[in-house]
Structure 1
Amino acid sequence: MVIPVFVPHKGCPFDCIYCNQKTISGQAGEAGEADIRKTIEEYLQTSRDAFVEIGFYGGSFTGIPKEEQQWYLEIGASYIKSGKVKQMRLSTRPDYINYDILDFLSGYGVKTIELGAQSLDNQVLNFSNRGHDMETVVKASRMIREKGFSLGIQTMIGLPGDTVEKALNTARAVIAMAPDIVRIYPTLVIRDTFLQKMYESGKYMPLSLEEAVDISARLLELYEGNNINVIRIGLQPTENISETGDVVAGPFHPAFRQLVQSRLMRNRLEEYFRENELFNIKEINIECSPQNISNIIGQKRENLRKIMNEFNIGNIRVTAKDKVDLFNVKT
């Protein structure tokens, strides 16, 4: 369990064109110590035997004044000392990492650092007003791993100037940095951002849901093939992050990850059917683990319909079976 403590837009002097942190974090103001402790205690009530971490998200944590960092970290450290929390994690910008900062964080029980890389293409970073280049991400990642922290990389697809090939190249560059965890976020047009102005003036066109799902599925396959844990795909739906909230345009879906996992499974099934020349068959049975059934079938049985049409299959039955890694296809 990760208990999120949001530090909205603190420590970041940049205005990335897609960013409105009070909307993304769902928190407009700065929380006081009582509010933070209340949040932590509420989560702890349901933690049971979970491995519990406190995560500082929302801003660029290591960019805020050191005294403020210390203030937040001491709150978290008090729960580590009491045994209620195991460790802390935080997110920050790659240009706000150096050895002194890492030594400081290590002394308080921070174990995981996630870098908001967004892209590893310099043109995309420049168009998004990120304020750093690809090499900065590579250097920060190397220092984090050298100091013994777990490394997380946050990436985005569909930023201005981005393409499918650039997204794939970014994933390959991320893999080369050997992170422990990765997040994939499709770019959404959020209210009160410069990206909204670009969109409304016709200078920016977001990915369609279909495009975002397809690209994300290809990225997920790359990461899974290199044993990198993708812990999130798509922004967490909230009152603000919704089609009736502050999402102006873009590939938002409340179950975006499930769409991506289902698309990846369909891609794998189609490849299997082609390689084994499974065409014009009356009925096929696909065996899979119980937890994989929904990914095989797809939302509203879309995967089965697409495969049946493409390969001229009369009927496909999906059967739950334990100890099946991916799927077994039987004719």
Structure 2
Amino acid sequence: MRRINYIDKKNIIDEIIREIQKYPSLDRVKLEEIKRKIAKKYGLGFVPRNYEIIRELRGKLRDKIKSISAKPVRSISGIVIVSVFTEPSPCPGRCIYCPGGVDNPTPSPKSYSGHEPAARRASQLNYDPYLQVTRRLDHLSRLGHPIDKVSLIVMGGTFIYLDKEYRDYFMKGVYEGILGKKFPGEGIEILQKRLEKSKIRLVELTFETRPDYCMEKHVDEMLYYGATRVEIGVQTLRDDILRFVRRGHDVETTRKAFRIARDAGLKIVAHMMPNLPPNPDVDRDYEDFLNLFEDPDFRPDMLKIYPTAVVKGTYLYRMWLRGEYKPYDEDKLIALLARVKKMLPPWVRIQRLQRDIPTYLVEAGYKSGNLRQLVLNYMKKRGWRCRCIRCREIGHKVMKEGIDTRGINPRLVRRKYKASDGIEIFLSFE
């Protein structure tokens, strides 16, 4: 692999630009082909990034490259997602599977390894909220994404557990990042007023939490900061497993958390963890997912599935080394996730099917980094279909299946279901 300096790189990018100018009908595939060809010509061990090319362009060609280089799935709904991390801090939980925390040799935000892409970006910026937001928005804009509407997720553990002074500092930085400018001396309420007229609109704000930190006083704090959604770490609906993994709360607390969040008008994202110790069982895990949607005390709006991963440094890792924990294999996990997707109601969205933890850090549990695709392939072979919102969205179908929307006459569909002692009404055009 050749080592290059700044001038070499500039010349290589200039050559790429000269080459792409020869193709009036340039598309994403051709752009990548040109980049790889020139990288190979100069013996590079990498392919220049699209944003490095875009920043050297002007006018219509710049707009063209931006439009074809953007990954459409990131902004297909017209909203870009920005994830920000709080600094590594203590947590009320002592979960045996958790890979993060301040006590690690290399401290990382709680429940994260520190090697996830968003966590690495945050660490490089010393977890500064203002820089995390502004740098991410600038990067997305350079790649051609519209950034006028932002869905922001505060990650890094149980935000509401942190002391109020830090929470206020962090959210002030988030608001200023959206505004694109710092406002010394201005507090939370004043900045929120500014956001109402901001060029970039904060249309969604999500906090991660635990069921026992989603009681009335905690939800009031979330609403104070402008929350529209809460991600609740359910993990399992079995008290014996919650006790074994030292979760620190019971299922009844989860029921209460759902009701309180829902009564406050928050959308709910449930985190579920199949393959938990002490004795992982596929059928038992499937029953958990069934109960999550059949029991009206739960029925989340969205779902993130985080299959249990054995990561070095955790108590679960030591159990695994001693032979005290044996997860079921990846084939069984894929079959389980396919069954779950098959039974989902049409009013829920699956946001994730696995963690962002790099697979080279996972000692056991699953090893593939493309579980979603493996699950979809499994379902396709059996003629199964998923009814979740993501799988039925017209934007995804046009992008992935090439569906022609001309002549389609969508109709308004109204679905009503019970949830947390109330009634939910889900409206969609189908």
Mean alpha-carbon deviation: is it higher for 130-139 or for 76-85? 76-85
Which residue of structure 1 lines up, in the alignment, with residue 319 of structure 2?
A: 198
- Name the amino acid aligned to 1:210: D
- More RCO (CA 8 Å, sep 6+): 1
Which residue of structure 2 lines up, in the alignment, with residue 66 of structure 1?
A: 164
Q: Is the 8 A contact 2:97 2:245 kept in 1?
A: yes
Secondary structure at 2:306 match in 1: strand
TM-superposed CA distance for 1:252, in Å, is 2.4
Which residue of structure 2 lines up, in the alignment, with residue 103 of structure 1?
A: 220
2:286 pairs with 1:168: yes
2:79 pairs with 1:7: no
Pick the aligned partner of 1:227 from 347, 351, 362. Answer: 347
- Name the amino acid aligned to 1:43: R
TM-superposed CA distance for 1:113, in Å, is 0.5
Alignment of 1:200-279 (within 5 A): 200-223=321-344, 225-237=345-357, 241-243=358-360, 246-268=361-383
Residues matched between the structures, number = 274
Q: Is the 8 A contact 1:121 1:166 kept in 2?
A: no
Q: Is the 8 A contact 2:280 2:326 kept in 1?
A: no
- Structure 1 gaps, min length 5: 271-288, 294-319, 326-331
TM-superposed CA distance for 1:194, in Å, is 0.5
Alignment of 1:18-167 (within 5 A): 18-21=97-100, 22=108, 23-26=112-115, 27=119, 35-45=128-138, 46-47=140-141, 48-50=145-147, 51-78=149-176, 79=178, 81=195, 82-84=198-200, 85-160=202-277, 161-167=279-285
After the TM superposition, list the runs of 4 or more consecutive aligned residues in structure 1 that deviate by more than 6 angstroms.
28-34
Are residues 77 and 215 of structure 1, via their aligned partners in 2, closer, same or farther at CA, if it must alter by over 3 Å?
same
Secondary structure at 2:96 match in 1: coil
Q: Is the 8 A contact 1:77 1:109 kept in 2?
A: no
Mean alpha-carbon deviation: is it higher for 128-137 or for 161-170? 161-170
Which residue of structure 2 lines up, in the alignment, with residue 278 of structure 1?
A: none
- Structure 2 gaps, min length 5: 1-79, 101-107, 179-191, 386-396, 409-430
Q: Is the 8 A contact 1:180 1:228 kept in 2?
A: yes
Q: Determine the C-alpha separation between the residues in 2 that align with 1:172 and 1:8.
A: 36
Q: Determine the C-alpha separation between the residues in 1 that align with 2:275 and 2:307.
A: 6
Which of the pair has more CA radius of gyration? 2
- Name the amino acid aligned to 1:266: K
Question: How much is the aligned-residue C-alpha RMSD, in angstroms?
Answer: 2.7
Q: Is the 8 A contact 2:286 2:340 kept in 1?
A: yes
Q: Determine the C-alpha separation between the residues in 1 that align with 2:373 and 2:155.
A: 24
Secondary structure at 1:220 match in 2: helix
Q: Determine the C-alpha separation between the residues in 1 that align with 2:335 and 2:327.
A: 14
When normalised by structure 2's length, the TM-score is 0.58
Are residues 261 and 8 of structure 1, via their aligned partners in 2, closer, same or farther at CA, if it must alter by over 3 Å?
farther
- Name the amino acid aligned to 2:226: G
- Name the amino acid aligned to 2:300: P
Are residues 290 and 105 of structure 1, via their aligned partners in 2, closer, same or farther at CA, if it must alter by over 3 Å?
closer
Which residue of structure 1 lines up, in the alignment, with residue 53 of structure 2?
A: none
TM-superposed CA distance for 1:32, in Å, is 7.2
Q: Is the 8 A contact 1:18 1:189 kept in 2?
A: yes
Q: Is the 8 A contact 1:188 1:247 kept in 2?
A: yes
Secondary structure at 2:325 match in 1: coil
Are residues 74 and 13 of structure 1, via their aligned partners in 2, closer, same or farther at CA, if it must alter by over 3 Å?
same
Fraction of identical pairs, as percent: 26
Q: Determine the C-alpha separation between the residues in 2 that align with 1:34 and 1:199.
A: 32
TM-superposed CA distance for 1:222, in Å, is 2.3
Q: Determine the C-alpha separation between the residues in 2 that align with 1:9 and 1:93.
A: 17
Are residues 33 and 194 of structure 1, via their aligned partners in 2, closer, same or farther at CA, if it must alter by over 3 Å?
closer
